[in-house]
Structures are given as C-alpha cells and as structure tokens.
Structure 1
Amino acid sequence: MATQTMEEILRKLQIKTTQLLEEESDGSANQTYECTKCKDQTGYIGIDNGKEVWIRCTCITWRRVKRLMKSSEITEEFKRLGFQNFKIDDKPDVIKDAYECSRMYYQSFDSIKNNRNNSIGLLGQPGAGKTHLLMAIANNLLQKKHIPVLYFPFVEGFGDLKDDFDALEDKLGRMKTVDVLFIDDLFKPVSVQTKEGRKRKPRATEWQVEQMYAVINYRYLNHLPIMVSSELTVDELCDIDEALGTRIYQMCQDYTVVIKGDRKQLNHRLVGAPA
C-alpha cells in the first residue's frame, strides 16, 4: 500500500473537518460563529507526528471567562470597573489608602487565599468608591485568574429572595461555596426618625442576620475569601451580631480600610456641591 504524502493527508483532513462542521451546522451557509477558528467546536482536527488528533482551541480560555462572568451576576456596567478607571488624583489620603489596599489584596491573593486572613473589607462613607474598588478586584480575579466570584448586593439580593424559598436555598448554597464571595453594602443603613432626631438604623432583620451568619460562618470555617463593603464600621457590625462581626473582622483584618471624614470630600457624588 502506497504511503500517503503529507499533502494528501492534509487534503483529506480538510475535507473531513468541513464535513463535520457542515453536519454540526445543518449545512447552513449563513451561520455565524463566535470563534471562526474552530467554528464553535472548542477544537479542531490537526496533525501530530503524521496522525490526526483533536486540538483544543484557544477560545476555551475566553469561553471560560465568559461563563464565569455570567455566573458572577455582575452587571454589564460593573464589568467595566477596574483599577485603571478609579480616580485618586486630589483625593483624600484615606481614599488612596483604600485604593492601595485593594491593589495589594489582588496582588497577594494567590498567596493568602487559603489563610484565615484572606479577605478584604472597605467600610464607611458612602460614595467613596468602595464598590468600585472591590469590583475591580472581582473583575481581575475573573478575567485574569479565572477564579469564580459571586456578587451579592445585600439589599437587592435579599429583596429578590425573601418570597422564593427554593431560590433562597440555591443562592445561599452558592454564597457558601463559591471561590470568592463579594457582599456589597452589608446591612446598609436607613434613616429613621427618633425622639433625638433622624438617625441611621442598620437594615438588619433577625432573618437577614441569621442567613448572613450561616454564609459567613461556613466560609470562615472553610477559609473561603469574602470581599465586603459596608457603610458600617467594625464596631457597628459587632453591635448587630458580635459573632458575625468578629468573624468578618478576623477574616479581613489584614486588608481593612474604614473611610471617615468630610462627606463632601469623600463622596464623589457631592463633588462641587455648595457649602
């Protein structure tokens, strides 16, 4: 039997690959593909040492990132938040401290992720960029390190889940076990009228505290990182539930910044507001 030349092997290979793709697409001439290299097959037939082999396409990497971003529940707007578009020029030192702390946390993540102190908390003044900085970490973990992150906005998250027990159980299960959990605006305060005037009251029902404790305690015991933003300080978190607050503090103590000061300097939404 005559030995096939490399040209004949490649020609037959091209014919076979074309046939496979046509069968997969039902012969549609107008079909479009996300990856034109493999026609969305995540691989293609190639030659290795004169033998036909299946080669994994490089598109697998960005497909994984795409799946991770979708499962993270991060909005399209938040996906654009990064360190490069966080402005620190002419900002107070505490804002710069939060920025540097966030960058340092991301840079150190691989070496600390399995430790007790593997988490980060940005606390205090609303409008100071806490969510932006933690979202920058989340986006970098997802896109560059391919580490699953779940975003949970506290108020909206529990608002969507309170009347759906099945969805609640599923979400709490994911919050407990995902590689990195980002809790945004934990126990966000509301303004209430008291005899002494208007005061901030943390949004923390007994049921919400119970659910958050179950999540945080699971992650605490299993050394799973959390990223937390809150308008409350560590003491205020402990006032709500000391067991919960102290766990958060212990997990985040190496990477915690409390932002306090003049709101017109710290809250970017008040820039230019009259005195």
Structure 2
Amino acid sequence: MASEKSNVVELPGPMTYRDTCEKHGEYQGKITEIMGRQFKSGCAKCSEERRAAEAAAEIEAKAREDRERLQRKLGSAMIPTRFADKTFENYAANTPRQQKALNACRDYADRFPEHYDAGRCLMLLGRPGTGKTHLGAAIANDIIHRSSALAVYRTVGGVLQYIKGSYDRDAEYTEVEAFKSLISPHLLILDEVGATKPTEFELATLFAIINGRYEEKLPTVVISNLPPKELPEAIGDRCVDRLREGGGIVVGFDWESARGVQA
C-alpha cells in the first residue's frame, strides 16, 4: 500500500546570532529569512524602547490634539475673559437660596445629554450681581470640558451687533450665516436679556433665534435681571412659551447683589 504524501513542510527554526549593542551590551538576536534575504532582529531592548517611545509620542500627539480641540471650542464659545475661569466650585453659595441655585445649574450641566435630547431650556432670572452669569459660564465650561458638545455664550447686545454687521456691504458673512451660528450650537447661553427697552428689531431677532433653536429642538439658557413675570415684555410671549415648553427650568436669584461687598 502506497504511503500518503504529506503536505506539511518542516521549516527550520529561526537562526540566531550574537552581537553587541553600544547601549545595552551583548545580546542574542534572531535572523529571519524572507524571499531569500536575511534580516537581523537587532537589539531587543532597543526595539522595546523604540516601541515605548513611539507609543508615548502617539499619546502626546493625541493629548495635544485634544488640547487644541478644546482651545478651539473655548474660543468658539466666546465666554468673556472675566468669566472664562468660572466654575461651580468657585461660586460662593453662602445661603440656602444660593446653594439651591448652584445645585440647579450643576444638575442642568450634569444631566445635559438628557436636557439636550429633550431640547429643555433653562432661565436664570433675578437681581443683578447675584451670580447668574457666573453660573451660566460655569454651565458652558463644564459642558465644554466634559463632553464633545459646544456651548456658546453671547449677550443680546453682541447678538444684535453681529446680525447688523451682516448687512454691511463689506461683511464677510451673510445674515443667514449669522443666524445659523447662533441656532446650530448644542447650547446657546443668551445673557443680558431685557437689559434695555426692546426695539422691534430686537424682538424679531430674539424670536428668530429662540424659535429657530426650538424648531431644531436645541436648548437655550436665558440670563436676565428681570423677574419671571416681566420676561414676556422683554422678549415676547411667544419666546417665553418656547423656552418653557418641554419642562423649561426657571431658577430665581432674589437676594442682594454681591458686587462691592468686602470679603
């Protein structure tokens, strides 16, 4: 009976050689033959150090990319320098009412993915100098640092100037682009609402922004020195209705101003 022919080819094990590394001294390496050519492995410790250096460089490049992305986000957020370092931790909550406001704003930031999905808005309303802008900036900073979402801070005055700037003959952006930049961010923080008697242009502009975000189901934070009952006069009933829809949250700031108070 003829024996079956095996398809298995026995290959010789890798050849070895000895050499000396200037850094690590004598070592034993391997010689691999590929397509008739022989390749030496080199010093194993050097190879290990090279892989570690490449891994560290990759980690540093990723960290640098993350830092640059964060800086771009912070730049796009347009948070004023005075409020750029405002956080929940450095907000002075010395009374139960201040602590309640702090807790509400911290909770909004902590649960932002849920509020974002619902398009749920937040209104910080009450007396000037009570820390509303501080907490609004803290919300933006927290969201920017902890997620991929973009939170943008703008004052009503800045918004109006920005929109009007698109009408200039030499403007580098159109009115449509201006409104899009205000409607598209994951979160828009709109400060100084009702700071002056509203004009028809201001009312129309605020409605276009708030309604545009409402239609896209995007949340908005409104900051105003007005009490809740006076907000409709400043931005219109339709805007207030859209801010309240879907469980819009109102946080009151009814204590005395802390500005000028000596520590």
Both structures adopt the same fold (TM-score exceeding 0.5): yes
Alpha-carbon offset, residue 250 of structure 1: 2.2
Instruction: Report the Cα distance in structure 1 between the residues aligned to 2:222 and 2:40, rounded to whole angstroms.
Output: 63
Of 228, 243, 262 in structure 2, the residue corresponding to residue 248 of structure 1 is 243
- Counterpart mapping for 1:254-265 below 5 A: 255-260=249-254, 265=255
TM (norm. structure 2) is 0.72
Of 64, 88, 98 in structure 1, the residue corresponding to residue 69 of structure 2 is 64
Q: Which has the larger radius of gyration?
A: 2
> Corresponding residue for 2:127?
125
> Corresponding residue for 1:271?
261
CA contact (8 A) 2:160 2:205 kept: no
Residue 150 of structure 1 aligns to a residue whose secondary structure is strand
> Corresponding residue for 1:2?
38
Q: Describe the shift of the 1:259–1:184 C-alpha distance in structure 2 as closer, same or farther (beyond 3 A).
A: same
Structure 2 counterpart of 1:84, which letter? Answer: E
CA contact (8 A) 1:72 1:150 kept: yes
> Corresponding residue for 2:103?
100
Alpha-carbon offset, residue 66 of structure 1: 0.9
User: Could you list the runs of 5+ residues in structure 1 that have no partner in the other structure?
Assistant: 18-36, 45-54, 190-201
Structure 2 counterpart of 1:63, which letter? Answer: E
Alpha-carbon offset, residue 212 of structure 1: 1.0
TM (norm. structure 1) is 0.69
Q: Describe the shift of the 1:86–1:2 C-alpha distance in structure 2 as closer, same or farther (beyond 3 A).
A: same
1:182 is the counterpart of 2:189: yes
1:86 is the counterpart of 2:91: yes
- Runs of 4 or more, structure 1, over 6 Å off, are none
Alpha-carbon offset, residue 64 of structure 1: 1.0
Instruction: Report the Cα distance in structure 2 between the residues aligned to 1:251 and 1:211, rounded to whole angstroms.
Output: 22
> Corresponding residue for 2:114?
111
CA contact (8 A) 1:64 1:146 kept: no
User: Could you list the runs of 5+ residues in structure 2 that have no partner in the other structure?
Assistant: 1-36
Instruction: Report the Cα distance in structure 2 between the residues aligned to 1:185 and 1:251, rounded to whole angstroms.
Output: 23
Alpha-carbon offset, residue 251 of structure 1: 5.3
Instruction: Report the Cα distance in structure 2 between the residues aligned to 1:246 and 1:163, rounded to whole angstroms.
Output: 29
Instruction: Report the Cα distance in structure 2 between the residues aligned to 1:76 and 1:144, rounded to whole angstroms.
Output: 20
Sequence identity percentage: 22
> Corresponding residue for 1:236?
230
Q: Describe the shift of the 1:207–1:252 C-alpha distance in structure 2 as closer, same or farther (beyond 3 A).
A: farther
Q: Deviations over 1:41-76 (max 9, x none)?
A: xx59xxxxxxxxxx9633221111111011111123
Alpha-carbon offset, residue 246 of structure 1: 1.2
CA contact (8 A) 1:234 1:245 kept: no
Root mean square deviation, CA, Å: 2.9
Aligned residues: 216
Alpha-carbon offset, residue 119 of structure 1: 2.0
CA contact (8 A) 1:220 1:251 kept: no
Instruction: Report the Cα distance in structure 2 between the residues aligned to 1:7 and 1:66, rounded to whole angstroms.
Output: 42
Instruction: Report the Cα distance in structure 2 between the residues aligned to 1:113 and 1:100, rounded to whole angstroms.
Output: 18
Q: Describe the shift of the 1:164–1:171 C-alpha distance in structure 2 as closer, same or farther (beyond 3 A).
A: closer
> Corresponding residue for 1:226?
220
CA contact (8 A) 1:82 1:135 kept: yes
> Corresponding residue for 1:150?
152
CA contact (8 A) 1:149 1:179 kept: yes
Q: Deviations over 1:106-146 (max 9, x none)?
A: 11112221104x22110011110000001001001111213
CA contact (8 A) 1:122 1:258 kept: yes
